[in-house]
Amino acid sequence: MSKERVIEIQHLSKSFGNNEVLKDINFSVNKGEVVCIIGSSGSGKSTLLRCINMLEKPDGGKIIYKGKNILQEGHDIYKYRAKLGMVFQQFNLFKNHNALSNCVVGQVKVLGRSEEEAKEVAMKYLKVVGMENYIHAKPRQLSGGQQQRIAIARALSMEPDVMLFDEPTSALDPEMVGEVLKVMKELANTGLTMLIVTHEMGFAREVADRVVFMDKGVIAEEGTPEEIFNNPKEERTKEFLKRILNEDLD
């Protein structure tokens, strides 16, 4: 695997009031790599993802993309964001657009693609997520799993350099988790660069090239799934895994 870095984060910090949510975060995502972020609730996983695409403004540090620090004044964050695909826990499909048009509108308005080209691209990715038969459906007419698959297609349609997922299956009924994870596994196999916040340990173990464990705003440990799940070095990683595996057994 090539070691070309898509995104590199240096000394990133973020506070909400006096709540220090991210402290001196350093890590990078390489091209074609699938990185899973795990950690207990409130450890700052979502905030990290949201800082990476600037939905939250970091207080300090650097985010290096294509050799440039995007936190520098005057950087075109709209262009940058278009290069990162984001999939939310709550899907957030545009309610006023149908499935196809959800995947088209960004391409046309942001990337300046023609309507025709955008539709072709959208159809390609709607097929990838198995939703090509639902192009006329409005979000409210679809199940959670279907909405999330369209949300993935919408992000893919922008042909981003990296896809960010924030607990994409946490808001889904159990029987729909599988269909979304299946799509994500397929995407991982195509060599797409993915950064995934997840509570699905089985999934992380199976698809991740690297697992990052976050605790109280810092990266406590990172390594291959083998290292993290079978031989965790840090005490808090062990505790977290024990807790979460017990939950899964309940």
Partner 1 sequence: MSLEWLIRIATNYWPMFLRGAWITLLISIVGTVVGFIIGLCVGVIKTIPLPEKGSKRIFLKTINGLLSAYIEFFRGTPMIVQSMVFYYGTALVFDIHIDRLLAAMIIVSVNTGAYMSEIVRGGISSIDKGQFEAAHAIGMNHVQTMTNVVLPQVVRNILPATGNEFVINIKDTSVLNVISVTELYFQTKTIAGNNFRYTEAFFITSIIYFVMTFTVTRILRAFERKLDGPENYNMLGNQMQVAIPKKLD
**Minimal distance in Å, beta carbon 43 to ligand ATP?**
4
Query: Dihedrals φ, ψ of 31, to 5°?
Result: -60, 135
Alpha carbon distance 75, 103 (integer Å): 26
Candidate list 30, 46, 147, 237; residue touching Mg ion; CB under 5 A: 46
Based on the shown chain and the rule CB under 8 A, indicate whether residue 13 belongs to the binding site for partner 1: no
In the chain, DSSP assigns E strands to 5-16, 19-30, 34-39, 60-65, 68-69, 84-87, 162-166, 194-197, 210-215, 218-223
Of partner 1, Mg ion, ligand ATP, none, which one sits near residue 86, judging by CB under 5 to 8 A according to partner kind?
partner 1
Binding to partner 1, residues 115-174 (CB under 8 A): 115, 119-120, 123, 132-138, 141, 151, 154-155, 158
In what helix (H) or strand (E) does residue 125 lie, and over which residues does it extend? helix 115-128
Which residue of the chain is nearest Mg ion when measured via CB?
46
163 touches 85 (CB < 8 A): yes
Beta carbon nearer to ligand ATP, 43 or 237: 43
**Minimal distance in Å, beta carbon 29 to partner 1?**
17
Based on the shown chain and the rule CB under 8 A, indicate whether residue 109 belongs to the binding site for partner 1: yes
Strands 34-39 and 84-87: unpaired
**Binding pattern for the stretch 22-61 against ligand ATP, x by CB under 6 A and - elsewhere:** -----------------x-xxxxxxx--------------
> Among the residues of 53-114, which ranges form H helices?
77-82, 99-109
**Minimal distance in Å, beta carbon 77 to ligand ATP?**
18
Stretch that binds partner 1, among 32-40, 114-122, 177-185, 189-197 (CB under 8 A): 114-122
**Binding pattern for the stretch 1-20 against ligand ATP, x by CB under 6 A and - elsewhere:** ---------------x--x-
**CB neighbours of residue 3 within 10 Å:** 9
Structure tokens at 242: 């024990």
Residues that bind Mg ion (CB under 5 A): 46
